[in-house]
Amino acid sequence: MNCKIVTIPGDGIGPEIVQEACRVLDKVGEVYGHTFTYTEVLMGGGSIDVHGVPLTDEALEAARQSDAVLLGAVGGDVGNSRWYDVAPNLRPEAGLLAIRKGLNLFANIRPAYLYRELAGACPLKEEIIGDGFDMVIIRELTGGLYFGERHTKEVDGIWQATDTLTYNENEIRRIAVKAFDIAMKRKKRVISVDKANVLDSSRLWRRVVEETAKDYPEVKLEHMLVDNCAMQLVMNPGQFDVVLTENMFGDILSDEASMITGSIGMLSSASLNETKFGMYEPSHGSAPDIAGKNIANPIATILSAAMMLRYSFDLDKEADGIEAAVQQVLTAGYRTGDIMAEGCEKVGTTEMGMLIARHIC
């Protein structure tokens, strides 16, 4: 298979971790007989430096013409970065919102899985972890508060800011379908998270999700308020299988879920549209404080590349091969600094990528 991939290294540690993901993909191509062709484009702070905007029309069009997009990370240190003393639509993260919208990437799929080898890095007590956990958070990505009408104005001498949370039934239904489809391939359980005791948007969310559930009689649907879900994630993470939620709630809950796996550096994600096209990226940020030091954990990006093979190219065997290679390297005791444990061997970004590539077979 010939696969055209747009790579967006982005900012901070982005270039380092994307390089290692491509190294692993190239080894997959060598072993399984595929060709991966990469076209690199700018987004985020790097694009601002060169073009004055976080995402150009040309970069967006290149992404549209590809088969999939592999993204590193965008943004910098908000407190010190020259990229943030500008209007919100010119900041690095605006490029991320724009490419999601421009590619209609409405479904974010973020697994949270605890490797047994990393149980010691999990901040939860052993009796809470139990036999571990394996969940997927399905987050609506192009609606809600982040994309609603907003303004800041002075009213009677007092500054007032307004952000609008809006969803329509079609936006809710299509993300619910994604969640139920994925649940059918897992344990057939969906927990839909909302704030229906307060928000009109959540009451509509709950109604549409319940209507969608009627088409999936084998799937058990439960509802959970977002504040309770935040507590349950650290009290009993093993109860979750597929978690379905809106944009802002999903943003927060998926980061919480990622941290209880031991390191956010382990968590992959996929953002999909209504076809097989997707953008794949690690769940973590750009970590500018460690950029260029060869200490970043590339595993989340490498696992995102595995998701790309699975969801965009239907290469399940190859995706399994990457995931198995990651497992073998962890079992052998190799660790980057963020997941380092006593008795293990500490390696850098490049060496971790090389080790995983070496185990592709």
What b/e string do you get for 60-97 counting C-beta neighbours within 10 Å, with b at 16 or more?
bebbeebbbbbbbbbbbeeeebebbeeeeeebbbbbbb
* Cα gap 27→22, rounded to integer Å: 9
Measuring CA to CA, which residue among 31, 17, 18 is closest to residue 317?
A: 31
Q: Please indicate whether residue 101 is annotated as part of the active site.
A: no
Q: Residue-wise pLDDT tens for the chain (361 aa)?
A: 999 999 999 999 999 999 999 999 999 999 999 999 999 999 999 999 999 999 999 999 999 999 999 999 999 877 667 888 888 888 999 999 899 889 999 999 999 988 888 888 788 888 888 888 999 999 999 899 998 999 999 999 999 999 999 999 999 999 999 999 989 988 999 999 999 999 999 999 999 999 999 999 999 999 999 999 999 999 999 999 999 999 999 999 998 988 888 777 788 999 999 888 999 999 888 999 999 999 999 999 999 999 999 989 999 999 999 999 999 999 999 999 988 989 999 999 999 999 999 999 9
Q: Please indicate whether residue 255 is annotated as part of the active site.
A: yes
Q: Please indicate whether residue 57 is annotated as part of the active site.
A: no
Q: Please indicate whether residue 84 is annotated as part of the active site.
A: no
**pLDDT of the residue at 40:** 98
Q: Which of 251, 280, 311, 338 is catalytic?
A: 251
> Tokens standing for 194?
């909302």
**All domains in the chain, ordered by first residue:** 1-106+269-361 (3.40.718.10), 123-260 (3.40.718.10)
Q: Which of 115, 146, 280, 334 is catalytic?
A: 146
Q: Which of 227, 314, 316, 320 is catalytic?
A: 227
Instruction: Tell me the sheet residues that pair with 40.
Output: 7
**pLDDT of the residue at 156:** 96
**pLDDT of the residue at 80:** 60
Q: Please indicate whether residue 251 is annotated as part of the active site.
A: yes
**pLDDT of the residue at 67:** 97
